[in-house]
Amino acid sequence: MRLTPGPAHGIDLEAVNLFDLDLYSSGDPHRIWDVMRAKAPLHHQVLPDGREFWSVTRYEDVHRVLAGHREFTSERGTVPTHLGTDDAAAGVLMTSTDPPRHTEVRRPLGSRLTARAVRSWEDGIRATVARFLEPALDGEVFDLAERALLLPAMVTGPLLGIPEKDWAELVQLTAMVTAPTDPHFMVGHEAATLAISHHELVTYVREWVKARRASGEEDDSLLHHLMSVRPGGEPLSDEEIALDGYSILLGANVTTPHTVSGTVEALIERPAQYAKAAADPSLVPGLVEEGLRWTSAACNFMRYAVDDVEIAGGTIPAGGAVVAWIGSANRDETLFPAPHTFDITRAGAKRQAAFGFGTHFCIGAPLARMTLRIFFEELLRRFESVELAGEPQHLRSYFIAGMTHLPIVARKRRTP
């Protein structure tokens, strides 16, 4: 989707289809969300097949929906591509549980992913980023979006304990889960793409655990850690470990690359901001927060209303699905003045909603923030300028806001 919106134009909210994939691959959803925030902060849509959902677009409502498990449950699934079909992993997969079960499932992983815990990986991640940027040779065309798909696997692969030979396949499978109708990833049709990718990913982690148990091998990886923890005195079952591993693979692989590409695109369009960040590396953490706000790679998450809920001037009936549009919350003018301006020195950028809120707040946020900070430190240090070398191509997904192609040319600094 366009991250810098085009001119505002008349929008008929009655006719808007928020699940129209063309809107995201070639359209301009930000102009629609602007009108929704102003005129219909609670919006209802019925799809041609009869499925229906409500949408909230203001920051405060997105916060309330994502953070409030007593009003809005995660147990029936949280990904809008599954609207209307209850999540098969409900009550087991971390993302599809409510407290108190959620707290038990999340705790063993959380302790390994805090800001303090991930700091010890900084040198390793910097070496990985250097390796990642190596092919961006001086003056040659480099498809950043395509290559960035591999970056999270390069970072989290070793942390999870997944060998390099499997990264490309896992990246492909996670992309299939999140953009099942994008021509780059679709196999046959949407439902088949979702079923195959989900099955293969869970099977991959299950087999990994089985092989590890058989060999008795031990290491410091996250998956191995999950095999040894005993929340509530009981070890996790292989199924639970497989689903946690699946959550991490998905969470990491499908978001960070698009934050990288979208933020680089914003800098290409605004060379003065690139130069400013390059001249003062202390601005990089602010650049990262603004990049997270700007790109909102996880464009939304879904919940179901537990009872009738009054929100945003209307009512969501008990059992109704509600999509909380993070991409819109991050352009809410009441929190972010001049929201469609990309400004690496924006005050209050840290309140961005890209990682969600409350109990399900992204468990990988410290790792994502550190990876992005290192990525931009290394990019700005190495390259004097980055330019566009072709048309960017956007992901065909209403769930993940991203790019499939971003051809760029980077020019190396003469004096490092």
Under rule CB under 6 A, residue 66 binds ligand HEM: yes
CA atoms within 13 A on the CB side of 240: 22
Quote the CA–CA distance of 371 and 121 in Å, as a whole number.
Answer: 10
The single residue listed with the structure tokens 């992993």 is 89
Pick 273 or 352: Cβ nearer ligand HEM: 352
- Tell me: does residue 95 bind ligand HEM (CB under 6 A): yes
Residue among 334, 305, 329 nearest 317 (CA): 305
> Tokens for 389?
């070398």
User: Which member of 78, 193, 261, 352 binds ligand HEM (CB under 6 A)?
Assistant: 78
- 133 touches ligand HEM (CB under 6 A): no
Q: Across the strands, what pairs with 314? A: 311
Kindly list the distances between the CA atom of residue 277 and the CA atoms of 191, 204, 265, 272, in Å, as whole numbers in the listed order: 44, 41, 15, 9
The correct pick among 18, 35, 278, 367 for binding ligand HEM (CB under 6 A) is 367
Residue 317 DSSP SS3: coil
Answer yes or no whether residue 360 interacts with ligand HEM by CB under 6 A: yes
363 near ligand HEM, rule: CB under 6 A: yes
For 296: left if phi > 0, alpha if psi spans -120 to 50, otherwise beta; the answer is: left
194 is a site residue for ligand HEM (CB under 6 A) = no
Q: Binder to ligand HEM among 364, 393, 395, 409 (CB under 6 A)?
A: 364
* Of 62, 201, 252, 288, the one binding ligand HEM by CB under 6 A: 252
Q: Does 356 bind ligand HEM (CB under 6 A)?
A: yes
CB 103 within 8 A of CB 358: no
By CB under 6 A, the count of residues binding ligand HEM is 27
Residue 368 as a binder of ligand HEM (CB under 6 A): the answer is yes
Of 43 and 63, the one with the shorter C-beta distance to ligand HEM is: 63
- The reply on whether position 256 binds ligand HEM by CB under 6 A is yes
Residue 223 is a binding residue for ligand HEM (CB under 6 A): no
Measured distance CA(47)–CA(25) in Å, rounded: 19
Output the DSSP codes for 15-51.
T--TT-HHHHHTS-HHHHHHHHHHH-SEEEEE-TTS-
The CB-side HSE value for 81 (13 A sphere, CA atoms) comes to 22
Examine residue 354 and tell whether it contacts ligand HEM (CB under 6 A): yes
| 257 part of the interface to ligand HEM, by CB under 6 A | no
In the complex with ligand HEM, the residue whose CB is nearer, 193 or 352, is: 352
Nearest-approach distance from CB 288 to ligand HEM, in angstroms: 9
Nearest in space to 44 (alpha carbons), one of 35, 34, 52: 52
Does 247 bind ligand HEM (CB under 6 A)? Our answer is: yes
* Cβ pair 99, 123 in contact under 8 A: no
Q: What is the DSSP string of 374-393?
A: HHHHHHHHHEEEEEE-S--E
Q: Least separation, in Å, of the C-beta of 298 and ligand HEM?
A: 4
CB of 357 to ligand HEM, least distance (A): 7
- Judge whether 355 and 63 are in contact, CB under 8 Å: no
Task: Give min distance, CB of 156 to ligand HEM, in A.
Answer: 6
Cis peptide before 100 (omega within 30 of 0): yes
Minimum CB distance to ligand HEM smaller for 35 or for 325? 325
Binding string, 145-174, against ligand HEM, x = CB under 6 A? -----------x------------------
Provide the β-strand partners of residue 385: 411
Binding of ligand HEM at residue 76 (CB under 6 A)?
no
How far is the C-alpha of 280 from the C-alpha of 122, rounded, in Å?
Answer: 20
The pattern of x and - marking residues 282 through 321 that bind ligand HEM according to CB under 6 A reads ---------------xx--x--------------------
DSSP collapsed to 3 states, 155-183: HHHHHHCCCHHHHHHHHHHHHHHHCCCCC
Report the residue from 72, 294, 325, 355 that binds ligand HEM according to the rule CB under 6 A.
355
Q: Which of 57, 73, 174, 259 binds ligand HEM (CB under 6 A)?
A: 259
Task: Supply the minimum distance, in Å, between the C-beta of residue 55 and ligand HEM.
Answer: 15
Stretch that binds ligand HEM, among 170-178, 195-203, 327-335, 358-366 (CB under 6 A): 358-366
Residues of this chain that bind ligand HEM (CB under 6 A): 66, 74, 78, 94-95, 106, 156, 247-248, 251-252, 255-256, 259, 297-298, 301, 326, 354-356, 360, 362-364, 367-368
